[in-house]
Amino acid sequence: MPEPVTSIVQGTLGRVIDRLADRYLPSSISEKEREEFRIRAMELALKEAESEAGAIESVNATIREEGKSEHWIRWSWRPLIGFTFAGVVINNYILLPYFRNLGLQPIDIPSGIWESMLVILGVAAGTRGLEKWARERK
């Protein structure tokens, strides 16, 4: 896992774990047992974060490979989904209220498709943001 991500996880989750330990662990346990709880919880959190970072890196690697492709459909499908999403939002929520009387119809998108589009756009935006953040930190 990249060093900045590890630092963020340790800092943020360390504070959360400390608060949980103070609030929910019985006051009768020793300081040594509290520290063991904190260490184990941090290990579990870091393992989970490393797993998530690995999944994100896998997605990034796929996106990079698709970008190198000579076939336009392999490198353009994500932008096409983004433009489609934007087109539906513009049609249904910006133009439709003004032009309904002229026959403009809403585009009906099933909820599963909406969720898929949002996930794709979220992953694409999130991974780009993480890449930029990591570049700037170096």
Q: What are phi and psi of 70, to 5 degrees?
A: -85, -15
- Which one has a higher pLDDT value, 32 or 76? 32
Query: Does residue 1 have a pLDDT over 60?
Result: no
Rounded to an integer, the average pLDDT of 10-15 is: 77
Per-residue model confidence (pLDDT) at position 3: 67
Q: What is the mean pLDDT of the chain?
A: 79
Identity of the highest mean pLDDT range in 2-11, 34-43, 54-63, 125-134: 34-43
